Structures are given as C-alpha cells and as structure tokens.
Structure 1
Amino acid sequence: MRRDAVLEIGCEEIPARFMPDALSSLRALAGDLLSRERLKFDRLVAYGTPRRLVLYISNLNDTQDEAVRQVRGPAKRVAFDESGKPTKAALGFAKAQGIPVEELVIRADERGEYVYAELRQPGESAAVVLGKVFPRLIGSLPFPRTMRWGDSEMRFVRPVRWLLALFGNQVVEFEVDGVSSGDITFGHRFLSPGPVRLGRAEDYVATMRGLSVLVDPAERRESILAQASRLAAQAGGRVVAGDDLLSEIVFLCEHPRGMLGRFDREFLSIPRAVLTTTMEKHQRYLPVEDESGRLLPCFIAFRDGGDLNIEGVTRGNERVLRARLSDARFFYDEDRKIPLEGYLDRLSGIMFLGGLGTVRDKVDRLVRLVEHLARQLGVSDEITGIAKRAALLCKADLATNMVREFTELQGVMGREYAISSGEDPGVAEAIFEHYLPRSSDDALPGSPAGAILSIADKADTIVACFLAGLEPTGSQDPYALRRQASGIISTIVAQSLKLSLGDLVGVAARGLLQQGLSGESPQDLDERVLDFMAGRLKGYLLERDVRYDLVDAVIAAGFDDIAGAVKRAYALKDFSGKEEFQLMATGFTRAANIAGTVAEAPVDESLLVEDAERALYGAYVEAARRVRDLARRDDPAEMIRAFAELASPIDRFFTEVLVMAEDERIRRNRLNLLAGIAALMKGVADMSKVVVKSG
C-alpha cells in the first residue's frame, strides 16, 4: 500500500532571498536520503512560505525495499566435492550465516567460482524510517547564514517553532532540538491564528488554503500576477514585473493581497531608473506603465493579509513612496546644479580599496589604460576620444547625492548627468556601459568605447585586488572578481576584439605599481592574474558545452588572444564529433611524445628512405603551407581540417617506420619531422590533453 507523507518545518520568518535555494536543497536532499533508505515514491515537491518549509511526498511505499547482502564463502572446489555434495566447509559456512546449505549460490568473478550466501533483511515501516530521515534532513539543510537560537544546540536559519510530520494519517515521531513532531500545524498568523490538527497528509495543501496560506510558491506567484494585472488595468496600464522582484514578493507573503497606489504626476520628471529603483528595490512595489512603455503615476504593492483596512494600508504605502520620491527629486535637482566633471575632485576623498589609493587615482589609471587599449585595437581617433572622456567621468557619479543614497544607480546616473551636462551621447552611453555586464545574464557593452572602458575598469579592479591580497578563495569572492573576469571574456568575444590579455594585465599592473601602491614583482603579479583568467576562461567554455579536455588543450596552446582561443575551442568542439578526430588526436599526441623536447629543425629530404616517411613529409609540407595561409586568415576550423589530413600519413608512418633507427642521422631526421608536425598544431591545441576514446 502507498500513502502520501508531509513534513512541515514551522519557523519564524525566513529571509525571502534564502527561499528558492532552500527549497531546491530540501527536495534534492530528501530524494537522496529516501533513495539511500530504499523507500520508493512517485514524486517529491518542496513548498515554502516565509514561515514554513514543506516537503510533500506522493505515493510513498509502506515499507522499505528488502535489502540483500552478499557474503562470500569458500571456493566452489572447496565447498563441494566431485559429485556436487556440500563439504564440511559449505555446511559450516551455511550454518554460520544462518541459512540452509541448499540456499547457497555460486558466483564467478575474476578470481574464480565462489560460494555466496544471500542474506535478506526485511524492510522497516516507512513511518519508522521517516522518523530517522526527517531529523537528518532538517539538520543538513544549507543556508547562507545560520546560528544557534536561545538554548538551541542546532544551527538553523531561524528558530523552529513546530514540526508537522504525517505518513497518511499516522504521525511520524521524532524530535529536533527539543521540538517534537506531531499532527498540529498553524494557519496564517492574522487570518487563521491558532493551532489546527491535520487528519491526513493528503489533505495538507487544501487545509492550508482554507487557513489562508498558499503553500505552493507557484500558486502565490499566479495570484500575485493576476492581481497585479487586474489592478494595473484599472489604472489604464500594464504591470512591470521583473522575475527577481516577483520571487521576492512570493516569499514575503503567505496570503498575498494586492493594492493600487498612486503618486503625484510631477515625480515623473525624475529619470525612469530612479523611479523604478525606488519602487522596486526599496519598497518592493511593482511599477505600472502605459502601452507605449511610459511610467504611469501609480504602483502596485502587496501585503501579507486580507482586506481589513486595505484603504488605510494603501494610503500608508503612498505616503512612504511620496517621501522617498521627494528625496530622490531633491537629490536629482541638487546634483544637476554642477556639471558631472565638477564632481571629479570629490573622488579624491573616496577610497578605492584599502591601501590602493582613491577613486580619483583609479580614474587616472583608467584614462591611461583606455588610451593604450584603443591604440592596441586600432580604433579611430573619434572612438579613442570618446573612450578617454568616458574614462575620466565614469566614476564621477559616485560623489553625487543620488548615487550615495541609491548605490545601485551608479553608471545609470552617470549617463543621466553626462547628458544633462552636455557631454557627447557616446560618452554618456560608455559611462553606463562600463559597468556591464553586472550579472551572468546581463547585457554586454554595445559600443566600442563602452567595451574598451568596461574591459579596462574590470582589469584594473582585478589586478588591484590581487595586489592587495584580495583575490577569491574557495566560495569567497567579496569583490566579485570572478564575475568581472567573466565580463572581460564575454565582452572581448562579443566584440571580437583582438587584444593581448598579457599586455592588458601588464599595463594595468604597471599603472598601479607606478603609483607606488605595492612593491610586488610585476612578473609575479601578472602570472597570478593570468592564472586566474585562465580559470575563468575554462569556466566560460565549459558553460558553453565545450568538453573539458578540449578546453584544456586550447588553453595549454595559449590564451593571450581570448577571442582567438574561444574560436579555436569552438572549432575543435565541432570537429571532435567527426570520425577522423580520434585518429588525428592519437597521431599528433604520439608525434609530440616521441619528438619530446627535440627542437624544430629542417628535414633533410635525402635522408627520407622509407615510402611512408616520404609520404608523411610531403603531406606535412602541404599542410604547413595551408596552415600558414589559414592562420593569416584566422580560420582555426580549416586549420584543424588541414591537420586532420595528416592523420592517415602519421598512422602509416608509425606502422611502417622505426623512428629510432640505428643510423643517427636518419633517427635525428625522423625526430625533426615529428617535431615539425607537433609544432604545427601547438598554436591551436595541445593534443596531448585530449582524451582519446579506446576502441
């Protein structure tokens, strides 16, 4: 027989940002624990609200599956005589295992045939097993931050107040940190206060809905969107609902109730980004816009509760937003009284990183680094001028009132104030774009000047942090250097920029060292940063489904040209699915291994005495000619095809020719040929890193 089971962990309010990962972990850990305990089920679902974490198990077996343990005994030839009758050894082994000798089985392995006893252990009841599993599950749930609460010995995200645990209509008995499980749950704190006894696990979701708690986050999300759309339509608009804010609202409410609030139309003169940031980030309100995408003077807020005094609650939210927007308008008006360039001197009073000077010092470095990058990339004087001007002004908004109050608007307000100060639109856009990408799924800089400044800014920050000993360690990355490194790689690839990573890092390091900020050897600093960048490039390629060994092969061949390395990786990935890839990989790896450290030297054709080596040499000469031409055209895909044409001649060479000939001159000549072949592919991939499939 099968029944449903439910575990509800009742807590004080859990931070909304913790909930999505917590529910994923709850489901994954539960599935693993139940599988280990041989408990079969149809489906696992994790629900959650601010006050509860819920695991719902559908169609769980009444008992564990039977466990079978194999115990090896004596060899068959010892256990049975020539007529097949059991010997004393077999009888003694069966008696020791507590089974009749007739139940012994014979199994063969690499060591021969042996007698085995199959010991069967009946499964325990599901309720008993769950009583062991649930406490382990609760104790193993990971959260970004936990602590001990009161006299508690267990670390948890918030104090546990109750535990509901049912298998069908049976209570699953256990205790966690002084809290005993039972059949009691609690409804909404205000709409359905007090304890409620649950009769069956199967009734859990419906019962909670009756107690004004929507335990399913998907159901709450649907309710929030439906209410928001209806309220926005009342205002003649449509709701602006980002996924992050929606997720946060979902986990701030057990019973979401929407309300339509309004604010003075005059506030619409404030830049849209300021309005939406104030509403979304600071108040968790959903903005409303008209069909053309212009904001309307209204918003949608949600409370965790019902209709009681909803008008008063709406007015209260309106007052709060009005005060926020009044502050924002004051900051905006005050900031524009001086041009953006007027804030530069104030950057001298803002520290960049401990021991690494001020933000103004960083700006001076960026101007020089941007000029160097523009020269290396060969961009026009116009783009260079825009990039340099943007570099000078890109951090100026950090000294403004608005950004000091709303730090997430850095770059956004820089663009706004640049435009209002009469700066070139390209400068304004580059100021905004230099912060991109701000996350893995964010947009990349779209303009050449923005891309150059973005790369320069991130490179300076990465090198500065390494200089200060602030590089990432394990899961700790307080300055988001991994994200910034990935941003550099993504921007270079997206814009197909032909620049030297080593040069970029070296110039950035010299800029810091010239300001007297450290006595570290520039070479040591460069090597540490480049190793870090290699790791980020590896991650970038793995995320795009390039096989790990192909990634290693490409990076080992060099990654100074990031865009080129990525292009080589994609070309190698595409070719790796072809039949000739394995033969090519094997041949080039063998050639490199045998040639060893032999320096590339000319091949003497007169010493090529075997047909196979003459054929290989002819193919090599033709391939080398093609590869040189293809390298100039930056076409790694065709280069790899040229290499592949050497696979068969290489294979024939190793089959028919003895490389280590007795004649030293012939032996040396053959090694020179192999060294030349190995060197041919070194600029594309180190094939010794490729995992060749056997068979």
Structure 2
Amino acid sequence: MAKDFILEIGIEEMPARFLGPALAQLKELAAKSLQEQRIAYNSIETFGTPRRLVLYVKDVAENQAALEKEVKGPAKKAAFDVDGNPTKAIQGFLRSQGVNLEDLVVRPIGQVEYLYAIKREAGRPTAEVLAEICPGLITGLHFPKPMRWGDLELRFARPIRWLLCLFGDTVIPFTLANLTADRLTYGHRFLAKGSLSVANAEDYFTKIRAAYVLIDPAERKELIWRQVQELAAAEGGKVEEDEDLLEEITNIIEWPTALCGSFDADYLKLPPAVLVTPMREHQRYFPVLGQDGKLLNKFIAVRNGTKDYIEIVTAGNEKVLRARLADAAFFFEEDLKQPLAQKVDGLKKVVFLEGLGTIADKVDRIGALADHLAEQLGADEKQREKVQRAALLAKADLVTNMVFEFPELQGEMGREYALRNGEDKEVAEAIYEHYLPRHAGDCLPASLAGRVLSIADKLDSIVGCFAIGIQPTGSQDPYALRRQALGICHILIEGKIHLSLRELIAWAYQGYSEGVELKHDLAQVTSEIEEFFKQRLKGILSDKGLSYDTVEAVLGAGFDDIADVVDRGQAVAALRELPAFASLMTAFNRANNLAKHATGAAIQEAYLEHPAEQELFQRLQALQQTVQPLLANRDYAAVLQQIATIQQPLDAFFESVMVMAEDENIKANRLGLLKGLVELSKSVADLTKIVVEVK
C-alpha cells in the first residue's frame, strides 16, 4: 500500500529571503530523485517557516518499480563459431553483464543483427532508498550565504538542529550533521515546550499546528494580510498592498498576530518618506493611510505569537518607533539648518570608488555628460541650466544626517531639501528621478532633466568600472552594473530617446581623462560595454515575447540606437506571420549566401543582359527610394513589408540567370544586386539569423 512521506529539516531562524527559493529547490530535488529511483507517488508539497523546511510526498509506493533494461552486445555473427558454439566475445559479454545465454535477444541495426542482454532488477523497498536519498535532498540545497558550524564541513542556511523523517509510521533513520533522523519535532520557540513525538505525516500536521506553528507560507500570508486589513479598517484607514513587505513578514513568523500601534501626531509634519522608511525598512511595520491617501499616526505590526499580552507588545513597538522617529525628526531639522547647495563641498571627502575619485568628481562628470545629452535631445538654454543645477545637487543629500542614517532615502531627501531651499521644482524632481529605476518594475524618470541625469549617472558608473577592470562575473555584481544598464535601456526604449550608445560611452570615458589612471583604452571598454548591453537587450526583447532567433536577428543588425530594438523586433515578428514568409526566407538566404562574394563595385546597367535582372535592378532601386522615408520615420514594419514585395522578381531572377557567370562584369553586377537587397534588409534585422521550420 502507498504511504505518505514527510521530511522536516529543523534549523535556527533563517533569513526571510532564503525560504521561498529553498522550498522550490527542495520540491524540485525530491521530484527528480524519486523519478530517478523509480518510486511512484501522487503529489509533492513543500512547507516552511524560518525554523523548518518540510517536504511532504503523498501516496508513495512501498517499493521501487522493477527495472528492465537492454544492454547492446556483440554482433550475432561474431557471437558464435561455425559450429554454433559461443565465442570468447559473447562469453565475456555474458560475464560482464551477469546474464545467461538465454537472457539474450536479437535486435537488428541496419543490415546487422546484434545481441542484447535483458537485465531485470527487482525493486527495492522504498524505505531503504529514502534513507539513501534524504541526505542528498538536504545537502543539495543552495543558499546565497551558507554557513558552517562547529567542526562540520556541511554548509547550510543556518545550523541544523533536528531531523524528522517518516515513511508512513516508520522512521527513516539517516544521519547528517551529527544528527540522526527520528520522529521528534519542535513547535513554536516560545509557545510550545519540549519535543513532540510524531506518529505519521497526518499526525505531524495536527501536532505542529497545535504547537503554534502555521506550516504553510500561503496560509500565513493570507492570515497576515486579512488581519492587517481588518485592523486598518477599524482605525478608519487602509494599508496599501506591499508584496515585498508581506512576503518578508510571512517568512520570519510561525504564528502571526497583527497589532495596531500609534505615534505622536506631531511627527506627521515630517515628509511621508521620513516616517514610512523607519516603519517599513527598519521595523517591518505597515503604515496606515487615511481614506484621502495621507498618513495616519498609526502603524500595524505583526507579532510572532498569540494575542496574550498584546497590549504590552504594542507598547514596546510604539516605544521603539518613537525613538526612531525622534531621531529622524532631529536629523531632518539639523539638515535644514544648511542649504543643500552648501553640502556639495562635503562630497569631496566621500570616495566614489577606489581609482575613480570622489563623489565630487563624479558630480562634475555627470554634469558634463548630462549637458551633452540635453544638447543632443534639443533642450533649450533654460532646460540645460536646470539640468546643470540638478546635476550639481544630485548627490548632495549623501552627506546629510538623514541619508547617513537611512540610506534608502537618497534622492527622496535631496528632492525634499531642494524644495524647502526654494530650488526650482523641476530641479528638485530631477534630483529624485536620477536614481530611477531603482529595481525591476520601478517607475522611470518622467522629466527631461531626470532622464539625462539618470542616464549620465548610470553610464558614468558603468564606464568607470569597466575602465578599471571591475565587471560583473557570474552572480557577482557588487556595484549593480547590470541593474544600471537595464535602467538605461528602459529609459531609452520607453522614452523613445534616440542616442548612439557608442558615442555615449566615448563621452563618458572622456570624463575620466584627468586625474584617473584607467587600465583599459576606449576601444576595449567600448567593445566590452557593447557586449554587456547586448546581453541586457536580449533579456528585454525576450520579456517582450520575441523568439530567440528574432532577438538574434534584431541585435545582429546592430543596437547602437537602443530605442529602436523593440520596434525592430516587433516588425520582424509581424513579418514572420506572413503566409509566404518561409518561401521569402528561402530566396533571401540564397541571396545572402551569394552576396558574400560581392566585390562592392557599383552596378553597371550596361551589363544587365537578361530581362529578369533588369527587372530586379529597377525594383531594387524603387525599393531603396520607398524605404528611405520609412526608415527616417522608423516605420520598420512597413520597411519589411516593402522588402517582402521583391520576392517575385527575386525568384524570377534566380530561375532565369546564372549568378556566377563567366563574364566578371556580369557576375559582379548580379552579386551587387543581391548584396544591395541584403544590405537593405539589415537596416532592420539580419534575417539570416531567422530559423525557418521546414514543413
């Protein structure tokens, strides 16, 4: 009969961000291992809290499925001599496989018959197999920052303190980390006393819940959010959805109970970010908003425990937050005593990166690069002045008390202080926007000044790091260069900002010309950064739903103007929907293969002998004139549609003439025609990268 299997890995509290990936890995490893071991089961589920990872497999077969496999042996004609006796070759094969002659069967391969050994292996008891694979399920888990403890070599998220492993009501007693698995588990650290003896999987879920542990993360999350909403509504307010905060709280608590606290209403005079950041980032509280969207002097926290003595816990949380807000208010008032512009000199004492000068140096470079960008985008003198003012003040809040204490507020405090100092609103907004986007899915800068500052800031960091040999490798990207490159791409694409990536790199590199010793020259830096951006663009285009070969075709035609890549990709995708696309590609690929032999000489009409090549020449000339305005308007779908119309004269050309003619002038002409067509298509995409399915 089938039985349920449960494995619990009891650990010290792990970081919240480790839990979700660990459960996904555990489920994947278990499914793979059971399949490899031929053990049938109904379903696999994983559960977890900060103190435990749980694998639950329902209806597991009591034995492995029997194994039957065929092993290829020698050819039949080599297996027996003229008298029909087994040769040494077949005798050696029988010994190596541990089978008898009657266990062999004949299988033809082509014109030759071969002997195969049929090996049958009875299934082992599942309990035996589980004891072997369970250690691998645990050691196979990977964490961002694993640790060792004691004198053990094992690395895990946190020290393992107990192991529970049951198949039905039987213990699977494997050993790992000086622990032997048994039927004991532990409930909530403070609400449950001592160990719990578990009979089977069903008993485990009953007892662990009675011991104040909600083992299912989905259930904990739903309960927390419901409690938070109910408490907010009771105060006449609401809580905005915050998936990251909710996920984090879910993963640090075993028995959630929400509570509502308050703070002095005088603190509401502070900027909202000054209140929200300590609550959310430092205390993991949900801020409460009124129906008008403004902050109330309320917060909601989630306790890891019951409602017992909740008023004492609430008072404790209020006390902690009161101290945080008092510090914030003090820092805010101190910062306002000096205008933001006067803090710029302080940036000379702050190192940007070793070898790349100070933040003050970076501000100078950003200002120069941003001014160049603004000029390229047609900004007038007044706009360029605002860009320069915003560039000067962009990093000044890094030396404020508030940002020193709450680094998450960089940019937001710069904007706030700028407004309070009477700076122009566009300048203040650009100070904030130049950090955007801060993460995937974040909003993009909306103003011209914000866009050019954001691009300049990010590109300066990327070029500087590549120039001194600091590049992301594997999963290591300590300076978030990938995120910054993605930010630049999204700003250019979404804003339809047409700039040359190669020129931007050159301008940014030029900013490092004085006082900085760079390891790599401009040519190498440009090549490496272009490849770096190419990888980011591959991800962006794939996220847009474009196939891999469409992506290769678009990027193969160049991506110096990043703002164009999505439009060109969508144009290629539309072309692929045409009924005649496959036949068009057949003709085009033939043209491309022959065009590689073209010399580049101009086409001479005198050598266009056949009507088919004369027709192709006329159509190509007309096509070139037609697509030029379309290219100027970046109507790439229309360009490809026009190019597709040349298929009929191209097919006629191939049917009527020999391209590689003996006469060199005629051959050069014909190759030139094909090259002209190929080059025209490459203004949108390198169609040779497209894979055409043969039906």
- TM-score, normalised to structure 1's length? 0.95
Q: How does 1:348-363 map to 2 (within 5 A)?
A: 348-363=348-363
Give deviations 1:97-150, integer Å, cap 9, x for gaps.
666767654434446443433322122222111111110010110001112210
2:562 alignment partner in structure 1: 562
2:390 alignment partner in structure 1: 390
CA distance in 2, matches of 1:397, 1:688: 51
CA distance in 1, matches of 2:433, 2:203: 53
2:624 alignment partner in structure 1: 624
1:513 and 1:519 in contact (8 A); partners too: no
Decide whether aligned partners of structure 1 residues 574 and 61 sit closer, same or farther in structure 2, where only a CA change above 3 A counts: farther
2:148 alignment partner in structure 1: 148
1:168 and 1:202 in contact (8 A); partners too: no
CA distance in 1, matches of 2:654, 2:81: 54
Decide whether aligned partners of structure 1 residues 48 and 111 sit closer, same or farther in structure 2, where only a CA change above 3 A counts: farther
Shift of 1:521: 2.4
Decide whether aligned partners of structure 1 residues 397 and 130 sit closer, same or farther in structure 2, where only a CA change above 3 A counts: same
Q: How does 1:663-674 map to 2 (within 5 A)?
A: 663-674=663-674
* 1:315 counterpart = 2:322: no
CA distance in 2, matches of 1:64, 1:321: 58
2:659 alignment partner in structure 1: 659
CA distance in 1, matches of 2:575, 2:106: 49
2:504 alignment partner in structure 1: 504
2:409 alignment partner in structure 1: 409
2:208 alignment partner in structure 1: 208
Decide whether aligned partners of structure 1 residues 237 and 657 sit closer, same or farther in structure 2, where only a CA change above 3 A counts: same
Shift of 1:41: 2.0
CA distance in 2, matches of 1:599, 1:457: 45
After superposition, the CA RMSD in angstroms is: 2.4
1:448 alignment partner in structure 2: 448
1:175 alignment partner in structure 2: 175
**Deviates further, 677-686 or 453-462:** 677-686
1:256 alignment partner in structure 2: 256
Unaligned runs of 5+ in 2: none
2:436 alignment partner in structure 1: 436
Letter of the structure 1 residue corresponding to residue 558 of structure 2: G
Decide whether aligned partners of structure 1 residues 423 and 304 sit closer, same or farther in structure 2, where only a CA change above 3 A counts: same
Give deviations 1:645-673, integer Å, cap 9, x for gaps.
22343344334432211222212221221
Decide whether aligned partners of structure 1 residues 385 and 93 sit closer, same or farther in structure 2, where only a CA change above 3 A counts: same
1:419 alignment partner in structure 2: 419
Decide whether aligned partners of structure 1 residues 661 and 88 sit closer, same or farther in structure 2, where only a CA change above 3 A counts: same
Letter of the structure 1 residue corresponding to residue 621 of structure 2: V
Q: Secondary structure at the match of 1:692?
A: coil
1:33 and 1:133 in contact (8 A); partners too: yes
* 1:6 counterpart = 2:3: no
**Deviates further, 497-506 or 225-234:** 225-234
1:131 and 1:173 in contact (8 A); partners too: yes
2:467 and 2:519 in contact (8 A); partners too: no
2:634 alignment partner in structure 1: 634
CA distance in 2, matches of 1:159, 1:98: 45
2:44 and 2:56 in contact (8 A); partners too: yes
2:468 and 2:519 in contact (8 A); partners too: no
Shift of 1:66: 2.1
**Deviates further, 87-96 or 466-475:** 87-96
1:304 alignment partner in structure 2: 304
2:147 and 2:159 in contact (8 A); partners too: no
Unaligned runs of 5+ in 1: none
CA distance in 1, matches of 2:547, 2:450: 32
Q: Secondary structure at the match of 2:511?
A: helix
2:474 alignment partner in structure 1: 474
Shift of 1:6: 0.8
Q: How does 1:529-548 map to 2 (within 5 A)?
A: 529-548=529-548
Q: Secondary structure at the match of 2:444?
A: coil
2:139 alignment partner in structure 1: 139
CA distance in 2, matches of 1:557, 1:636: 13
CA distance in 2, matches of 1:179, 1:228: 40
1:61 and 1:126 in contact (8 A); partners too: yes
CA distance in 1, matches of 2:651, 2:27: 52
CA distance in 2, matches of 1:655, 1:43: 61
1:289 and 1:295 in contact (8 A); partners too: yes
Q: Secondary structure at the match of 1:55?
A: strand
Q: Secondary structure at the match of 1:469?
A: coil
2:347 and 2:358 in contact (8 A); partners too: yes
Decide whether aligned partners of structure 1 residues 101 and 517 sit closer, same or farther in structure 2, where only a CA change above 3 A counts: closer
1:234 alignment partner in structure 2: 234
Letter of the structure 2 residue corresponding to residue 276 of structure 1: V
CA distance in 1, matches of 2:139, 2:655: 62
Shift of 1:81: 12
Shift of 1:77: 6.5
CA distance in 1, matches of 2:299, 2:344: 36
Give deviations 1:242-291, integer Å, cap 9, x for gaps.
11111111111111122221110001111111111100101111111111
2:166 and 2:183 in contact (8 A); partners too: yes
Decide whether aligned partners of structure 1 residues 594 and 511 sit closer, same or farther in structure 2, where only a CA change above 3 A counts: same
Decide whether aligned partners of structure 1 residues 93 and 469 sit closer, same or farther in structure 2, where only a CA change above 3 A counts: closer
Q: Secondary structure at the match of 2:261?
A: strand
Decide whether aligned partners of structure 1 residues 423 and 485 sit closer, same or farther in structure 2, where only a CA change above 3 A counts: same
1:38 and 1:65 in contact (8 A); partners too: yes
Q: Secondary structure at the match of 1:72?
A: strand
CA distance in 2, matches of 1:494, 1:359: 29
Shift of 1:183: 0.9
Shift of 1:447: 1.9
2:575 alignment partner in structure 1: 575
Shift of 1:515: 4.6
Give deviations 1:519-539, integer Å, cap 9, x for gaps.
642233222222222222222
**Deviates further, 512-521 or 631-640:** 512-521
Q: Secondary structure at the match of 1:257?
A: strand
Q: How does 1:329-368 map to 2 (within 5 A)?
A: 329-368=329-368
Give deviations 1:460-508, integer Å, cap 9, x for gaps.
1111111222211121100000010000000101110111111111111
CA distance in 2, matches of 1:94, 1:333: 88
CA distance in 2, matches of 1:452, 1:68: 67
Shift of 1:682: 2.3
Shift of 1:693: 2.9
Decide whether aligned partners of structure 1 residues 91 and 393 sit closer, same or farther in structure 2, where only a CA change above 3 A counts: closer
2:65 alignment partner in structure 1: 65
Give deviations 1:533-588, integer Å, cap 9, x for gaps.
22222222123222222222222211111112222122112322333333333333
Decide whether aligned partners of structure 1 residues 597 and 665 sit closer, same or farther in structure 2, where only a CA change above 3 A counts: closer
Q: Secondary structure at the match of 1:279?
A: helix
1:247 alignment partner in structure 2: 247
Decide whether aligned partners of structure 1 residues 361 and 211 sit closer, same or farther in structure 2, where only a CA change above 3 A counts: same
